[in-house]
Amino acid sequence: MLGSVNHNIAQLSAAALVVATVTLFRIRSGATAASRRWPLHALAIVIVAGAVGAAYHSASDDGLISHYERVRAVRLNALPQERVPRVDLSEVLRSADDRSATFIDARGTLEFDSGRIDSAVNVPPDLMADQIRARLANVPRDRPLIVYCSRESCETADVLASRLARDGFTNVRVFSGGWEIWVAATRPSSDVSK
């Protein structure tokens, strides 16, 4: 599947480059004033950038397109499976106060660095399975885990919680309101320990 996707992207990139080249030559041969050619030059630059970017990211297994096709496949596989139990704000606050649970932050690294629940462990959605295991190697399998992401509509907490449950963690729950509700409850943290 990835191969066919990348093949199509490579074809589209080649077509875009041809269009951009033709556009540039047509601009060159035109008799319009210099400033009137700028939008067309700008459009050609955007087309070339899109084509080069698509080719660059589809050519390598580490490219964004291949990478996110894998993430999407993981999501599609994970979501229809077991529904992970939910936990509400009051229980989250209690668990944070008495440190009876480990918080897992399923947001991206930049968001995590901007603020997080105290002592939360960051597991971004793009980590591979062995990287997740390494990051949680010191967490006992029966330790209560509370997974959260940015807000209620984000799905990365559900995806990660499903993966953790399948990896043998026996007490995994999702804080569905996530960081947005935590901030609304005025409990942000500037803790910088990762």
Rounded CA gap, 183 and 152, in Å? Answer: 13
92-111 residues in contact with another protein (CB under 8 A) are 107-111
Distances (CA, A) of 53 to 11, 19, 23, 41, 60: 13, 16, 19, 18, 12
Please give the residues from 102 up to 161 whose contact with another protein meets the rule CB under 8 A: 107-111, 113-115, 124, 126, 150
Return the number of the residue (142 or 155) whose C-beta is nearest another protein.
155
DSSP-derived letter for residue 172 is: E
Query: What is the per-residue burial (b if ≥16 Cβ within 10 Å, else e) of 17-28?
Result: beebeebbeebe
Asked if 76 interacts with another protein (CB under 8 A), we say: no
Residue with Cβ nearer another protein (17 or 139): 17
Nearer to another protein, 51 or 165 (CB): 51
Q: Which of the stretches 59-67, 130-138, 140-148, 164-172 binds another protein when contact is defined by CB under 8 A?
A: 59-67
Give CA separation, 158 vs 69, 95, 106, 179, in Å. 18, 19, 9, 14
C-alpha–C-alpha distance, residues 72 and 66, integer Å: 10
Are residues 115 and 190 in contact, defined by beta-carbon separation less than 8 angstroms? Answer: yes
Residue 165 interacts with another protein (CB under 8 A): yes or no = no
- Residue 67 near another protein by CB under 8 A: yes
Question: Which position among 56, 99, 140, 167 is part of the footprint of another protein (CB under 8 A)?
Answer: 56
Of 3, 4, 35, 98, the one binding another protein (CB under 8 A) is 35
Nearer to another protein, 40 or 93 (CB): 40
Q: Return the axis-axis angle of helices 64-78 and 34-59, rounded to nearest 10°.
A: 60
Residue 112, sorted as left (phi over 0), alpha (psi -120 to 50) or beta, turns out to be alpha
Minimum distance between the CB of residue 22 and another protein, rounded to whole angstroms? 12
Q: For residue 103, give both structure tokens.
A: 């918080």
Q: Which of residues 36-55 bind another protein (CB under 8 A)?
A: 37-46, 48-50, 52-54
Q: Which residues bind another protein (CB under 8 A)?
A: 24-25, 27-28, 33-35, 37-46, 48-50, 52-54, 56-57, 63-65, 67-68, 107-111, 113-115, 124, 126, 150
